[in-house]
Chain A
Amino acid sequence: MKRFLFSLMFFLLLILIWAGCTGELAFLGLSESLWSPFVLPSPGVVAQYLWDNTLNGKIPMSMLITLRRLLIGYAIGLVLGVPLGMLSARFRSVSDTLGVLALGLQALPSVCWVPLACIWFGQTEAALLFVVIMGTLWSVLLSTQNGMRSVPPIYARAARTMGAGPLHTLVFVTLPASAPFVVSGMKQGWAFAWRSLMAAEIYVSVVSGFGIGQYLHYGRELQRMYQVIGIMFIIILVGLLADKILFSPAEAWLHRRWGTDKE
């Protein structure tokens, strides 16, 4: 609680400094903004923008559009990445080919896929999804592969002595045993998916829907700095919420079961 208050104070202070520099603390004599509002708008203007556009539905709508793209791309990335990672952990021929490819492509920041996606798919949803999938797939593949490889072989041996067949062992032993690694890989994949989608939305405008990243882009085009900053807050918020809603419960469960909780 004390630590929470301490953090809260820190962020309040940041906002106060921001307000002070942009002329919103007139009662303290700070009525002059140091910069033009084109460069740095005041927190009040940004808040007003967020408030209005939340009420008129534009921001919630764009969040929905963005989240839909994110979830579809991420799901495809997982559905491809987890089984390929398992194959790569299991068969040397796969890890020497696909594993090496994944290692190489993972080193490529996903925004670098954007030009290629635009040429291949044009200004379409498919281009956006492609970038998200490229951003997710390789890191999920690699972390699943590493997770499966770090499972102590004694678990599979124990399962075999208890009469479990190869498929049963894979599904009920190796997979759950590698769960902590796979979940942290999924989390990393999610972070990559989110970053890729923002990059893609900023560069690719499609008629099929206006996502958050596109609002950010048009904020710049129209010289609306309050929109740019407001949308940046929204992006932070979505990233944090996804982490809390999707991954925190899974991680907490894993920590409790495995006894890896620090604290």
Chain B
Amino acid sequence: MIHDKLEQEINAFPTAKLSVEHVCKDFRTRNGSVRALDDVSLTINEGEFVCFVGPSGCGKSTLLNIIAGLDKPDSGLALIDGVPITGPGRDRMVMFQEHALFPWLDVIGNVMFGLKQKPNLTDKERLEVAKYYLFLVKMDRFAHSNIHELSGGMRQRVALARSLAPNPKILLMDEPFSALDAMTRERLYGDIQDVWAKRKKTIIFVTHNVREAVCLGSRVVLFSPHPGRIREQFPVNLARPRNINNHDLADLSMQITSALKGYTAAESD
């Protein structure tokens, strides 16, 4: 009985179609206003793994925050399955660059935080679900560790479990691995592809590393700054699981990098 419900909870694979329509966003600063997003439109299909790339300051985080519901566009719309986004919701979980785990809770307490917002589950079931996701990111042995006792890579894995646990339709990741060393990052590339395959999520992954984007994404969306715009999109049809050191990533990475250089050079002329 309990098991049926748990299995239902764990084996549900909600995904969503996301669309962004003519979104503009300005920020006021002391030196006038900055156009962070300029007429950005984009459609993301169910179960896609989309990477946003571009140099810093091109509005990637701003767009991600709008989709997360943490920010509002000045004009235009962001919709999930045709419904406009008005605020944060359990259907979209965010993983930040800094891990943003709560130091006053232990590992499992952190994973439980999001689950506790989810109705229709008993505390015991929540605990089982939390354990399942810790297992999925290979952190089940550390359920009762304090956050400061974990390495950077382990913290991001816990953060991943925390965002996966409420079973969101969409996972939003803002440069989640950029503060980690290369070896740890490579392992996490494997883990996140594994999670995507197993959990069938729609993932938006922000990075400024082109090779990382090509390694992870089924589509790479290229942004350029001042004002923030989408310039070009590249489908990535390489076999998975991909390794960041594989040669077959090189061609496409090179192509995207030179496109990127083209846009930033053109802008500084």
Residues of A within 8 A of B (CB): 154-155, 157-164, 168, 172-173, 176-177, 179, 256-259
| Chain A residues in 8 Å Cβ range of B103 | 177, 257-259
Contacts A155-B102, A158-B100, A176-B102; is A163 near B146 (CB within 8 Å)? no
| Chain B residues in 8 Å Cβ range of A258 | 103-104, 148
CB of B118 within 8 A of CB of A163, answer yes
CB of B166 within 8 A of CB of A176, answer no
Chain B, interface SS category = loop
Q: List the count of A-B residue pairs having beta carbons below 8 Å apart.
A: 62
| Chain A residues in 8 Å Cβ range of B148 | 257-259
Taken together as a complex, chains A and B put the C-alpha atoms of A177 and B70 apart, in Å, by: 20
In-complex Cβ contact of B117 among A155, A163, A179, A259 (8 A): A163
CB of A179 within 8 A of CB of B113, answer no
Chain A, interface SS category = helix
Interface size on B, residues (CB 8 A): 25
CB of A157 within 8 A of CB of B70, answer yes
Nearest Cβ in chain A — how far from B163, in angstroms? 8
Instruction: For B103, give the chain A residue with the smallest CB separation.
Output: A258
CB of B117 within 8 A of CB of A162, answer yes
| Chain B residues in 8 Å Cβ range of A163 | 88-90, 114, 117-118, 166
Q: B152-179 CB contact bits vs A (8 Å, 1 = yes)?
A: 0000000000100010000000000000
| Chain A residues in 8 Å Cβ range of B88 | 160-163
| Chain A residues in 8 Å Cβ range of B93 | 161-162
In-complex Cβ contact of A176 among B96, B104, B118 (8 A): B104
| Chain A residues in 8 Å Cβ range of B98 | 154
Contacts A259-B103, A259-B148, A259-B149; is A161 near B92 (CB within 8 Å)? yes
| Chain A residues in 8 Å Cβ range of B114 | 162-163
